[in-house]
Amino acid sequence: MTTTWTAHDTTSAALGALAAEGATGALTGERGVFYLSAGRVAHVESAHTPDLGVLLVRGGALTEDGWWEAIDRDGARHRVGRRLVDDGRLAAGALELCHLGALFDAAYFALAHDGRAHRFRPGAGHWLGVVRPVPVDTVVRESRRRRDLLHDIWPDPLVDVAPLARAAGAEPAGLPPRRGRVLALVDGVRTAAAIAEALACRTYHTLVELRRLAADGLVTTAPRVPAQDTRAAPDPYGAAWDDPDAALLRRLRDALEAL
């Protein structure tokens, strides 16, 4: 069984060790789960990004019934992506493009606070299956590149994960179309992930617009509501990622019920 990942203080270093071993399985970090196939990143899940299925359904590429049929038939066999292509519901190129976008978006959040990984489950696979696995070095490098670009726009990373509010008098009129659509959904409750989900848009593109809005003074982080019982209340910005399968099912259910 693979064990050397435990010797590393960061998730990115643990990923590098697993890649060197050609490992297959799921590495859980503070803000996400990396699914590896023969040492490459097959998929990434994070609570701070919309799920691939939600984006495909909301974006009109798939029907909700078609998505759940593929999950029911091939989720346990980790072949949902293959099922969608074989049934003609989605072109192979479209699946690959959407998958890579979701992978890199989730990896950005999963590596934003690059602390020690929590656990590795050898042999664990993602229900989507292997679409186009990406070298670990590429994933880590792209995540850092995105972090640096976003920092140059606006240096406060809390904008990426906190509920957001409009500044007084901020209105979408006069803004570039995409930025205006993003601002229109800022309501004091939604986070960047919720806004991206509502727009069926890539999370990173949404982050770029939100950081620009913050830099222009049009968006701020919403005040946090004091917890009634501080002993039991988790920190919404630093909570550890819980069991990936349970978290995924909850997010899929909540998002699709909201359609």
Residue range 137-163: average pLDDT? 97
Give one DSSP letter per residue of 10-77, joined into a string.
SHHHHHHHHHHHT--EEEE-SS-EEEEETTEEEEEE-TTS--HHHHHHHTTSS-HHHHHHHHHHHTTT
Task: Look up residue 79 and give its two tokens.
Answer: 């072949």
Residue range 111-139: average pLDDT? 94
Question: pLDDT > 70: what percent of the chain?
Answer: 85
Which DSSP helix (H) or strand (E) runs through 164? strand 164-166
Q: Report the pLDDT value the prediction gives residue 228, as an integer from 0 to 100.
A: 54
CA distance 253 to 245: 12
Q: Residues 31-57: pLDDT tens digits?
A: 899 999 999 999 999 989 988 888 888
In the predicted model, what is the mean pLDDT of the chain? 86
Q: Report the pLDDT value the prediction gives residue 168, as an integer from 0 to 100.
A: 93
- Single pTM value for the model: 0.83
| Residue with more model confidence, 233 or 96 | 96
pLDDT surpasses 50 at 215: yes
pLDDT surpasses 70 at 232: no
CA distance 163 to 161: 7
Q: Which of 10-14, 57-61, 77-81 has the highest mean pLDDT?
A: 10-14
Which DSSP helix (H) or strand (E) runs through 119? strand 119-122
Q: Residues 156-195: pLDDT tens digits?
A: 999 999 999 999 999 999 999 999 999 999 999 999 999 9
| Residue with more model confidence, 148 or 9 | 148
Is residue 136 within 8 Å of residue 182, measured between CB atoms? no
